[in-house]
Amino acid sequence: MENYQELTAKQKTFFQSGKTKDVQYRLNALTKLKEIMTSHEQEILDALKADLNKPEVETKRAEIGLVIGEINFMIENLSSWATTQEVETPSTHEGATSFIISEPYGSALVIAPWNYPIQLALAPLAGAIAAGNCAVLKPSELTPHTSSLLAKMINENFSEEYLRVVEGEVETSTALLKEKFDYIFFTGSTGVGKIVAEAAAKHLTPTTLELGGKSPAIVHEDADLDETATRIARSKFANAGQTCVAPDYLLVHRSVKDQLIAKMQEVITATYGENVSENLEFPHVVSERHFDRLHQFLNDGETVVGGNSDRSRLFIEPTILDHISWEDSIMQDEIFGPILPVLVYDELPKAIDAIVERPKPLALYLFTDNEKVQDDVLTKISFGGGAINDAINHMTTHYLPFGGVGNSGMGAYHGKASFDTFSHFKSILKRSNK
Ligand code: NAD
């Protein structure tokens, strides 16, 4: 059994030295992390190509660009975030002053998934650094080229008592979770999230769980179908649908369903070409197990767009399934692949009830300009976060904390929320003896 006692002990001692609490130390580490990403850009592109056939443009935008943007935002704002905040004191406490100190937790464990293996490892790591923690990062074993590159980038440039990448499979996570970390940040499936929460509970370690779920895209009868088709198709089929916030299924008003599907077909052809199997840039499914899981869904409903696949290169083309019901197998769990099932509704309240009866989604997208409909959906359905007349982009702004609720997770990060997540806020009331 692997044992990480020595590593956590080293990080604890280093943290106690107080070095990471110095704001300049954190700024230097963030700057260094950014420089490492820039100097390893080609290696990152190659690793993502080898692991997921991810196109360069996607890697530059969603893996490298997004993390560098986060780091820049942290560098710009860190001094003000880390400043002790003075707050009001009630008259009942006359003569006292009150303030709140942000302090790092200590040593944080970050466990990352495979679908955006750079972004979902390094964005939380940047948050841990900004807040002044030491950290251990465990990347996913399903993207081995990226995992070993992360180990090289971090372990060759930082000391292990400060930041360390530990590579490995489930046994490695299990062994790490036995140790007492001061914070755990986990991104992955809901099932594994529960295992992580149970392990964290043994040490009463606070956790953020960034999980998955079935995120609906509701298309109302008044939606602009050209824009809606473009925005849904691009967000669903990017990374071959292996995006935690991709629209999982369409819930569309019956009167516009056929037109919407026809327009989505046009967008898919315009984006990926007439014959997507010939488009060697289209990302592949991560593993044979996931390919087989997804392939079975092609038996549900009626395939109205796409449907071709090739197991030898883990390829499934962008596919739309019509005539789907809530009972179909594809509607039981998160899809996480390039297959989009379509369900229809006649009355919005029934569509809302159907979502509310199920586990709370990570994201929800609503396509309508009708403000009453927007209000109904936003007030009646609980979900992590989302967008109106757009999809996915709520997670690419520093100003919106990103996270789930219920089965889709707990806690949030990005921008200042990352700093807050990895900080404890210590409240102090100060009186004088005079
Ligand atoms: P996963 O839960 O299988 O694995 C995530 C990490 O946990 C990996 O590092 C893996 O090695 C580790 N792990 C796996 N089994 C474990 C166990 N029994 N004990 C401890 N650690 C274990 O998830 P995945 O397949 O890598 O990623 C896909 C899932 O992640 C989807 O559900 C997706 O929605 C979700 N996701 C969520 C977000 C988000 O930000 N909310 C982002 C990306 C992915």
**Domain-wise residue ranges, the chain:** 5-211+404-431, 216-396
Ligand 1, residues 115, 118, 290: which to mutate, most atoms within 8 A of Cβ?
115
Rounded Cα–Cα distance for residues 425 and 84 (Å) = 10
What percentage of the chain exceeds 90 in pLDDT? 98
Residue nearest to atom 30 of ligand 1 (CA): 188
Predicted local distance difference test score (pLDDT) of residue 385: 98
- How does pLDDT run across 150-183, given as a tens digit for each residue? 999 999 999 999 999 999 999 999 999 999 999 9
Q: Which residue among 116, 122, 138, 140 has the greatest number of ligand 1 atoms within 8 angstroms of its CB, and so is best to mutate?
A: 140
Residue spans of beta strands (DSSP E) within 6-96: 85-87
**Which CATH code of 3.40.605.10, 3.50.50.60, 3.90.1150.10, 3.40.50.2300 fits the domain covering 5-211+404-431?**
3.40.605.10
**Alpha-carbon gap, residue 54 to 114, rounded angstroms:** 12
The residue whose C-alpha atom lies closest to atom 40 belonging to ligand 1 is 210
Q: What share of the chain is helix, strand, coil (3-state, %, to 5)?
A: 50, 20, 35
> Helix, strand or coil for residue 132?
coil
Query: DSSP class of residue 309?
Result: E
Q: Would strands 249-253 and 339-345 be described as parallel, antiparallel, or unpaired?
A: parallel
Mean pLDDT of the chain: 97
Residue 188 CA to ligand 1 centre (angstroms) = 2
* Strands across the sheet containing 319-322: 302-305, 319-322, 339-345, 249-253, 216-219, 363-367, 385-388
Cα of 114 vs centre of ligand 1, distance in Å, is: 7
Predicted-assembly ipTM surpassing the 0.95 threshold = yes
pLDDT tens by residue, 233-248: 999 999 999 999 999 9
pLDDT of residue 19: 98
Determine the average pLDDT of the residues in 65-89: 98
| Mode of pairing for the β-strands spanning 339-345 and 363-367 | unpaired
Instruction: With a cut of 80, say whether residue 184 has pLDDT above it.
Output: yes
**Total length of the chain:** 434
- Active-site annotation, residues: 210, 244
What's the CA-to-centroid distance between 103 and ligand 1, angstroms? 28
Residue 40, number of CB atoms within 10 A of its CB: 19
* H/E stretch holding 51: helix 41-52
Ligand 1 closest atom vs CA 193: 2
What pLDDT score does 2 carry? 83
Q: How many angstroms is it from 211 CA to the middle of ligand 1?
A: 8
State mean pLDDT over 28-34: 98
Give dist(CA 92, CA 70) in Å, integer. 42
User: How many A from CA of 284 to the centre of ligand 1?
Assistant: 18
Tell me which DSSP letter residue 407 carries. G
What is the model's pTM?
Answer: 0.96
User: The domain at 216-396 falls in which architecture?
Assistant: 3-Layer(aba) Sandwich (3.40)
Counting from 1 in the atom list of ligand 1, the atom nearest the Cα of 213 is 34
The residues lining ligand 1, judged by C-beta closer than 6 Å to any ligand atom, are: 111-115, 120, 138, 140-141, 169-170, 173-174, 187-189, 192, 195, 210-212, 244, 334, 336, 362, 404, 409
Q: How far is the CA of 191 from the centre of ligand 1 (A)?
A: 9
Residue nearest to ligand 1 atom 43, measured at CA: 244
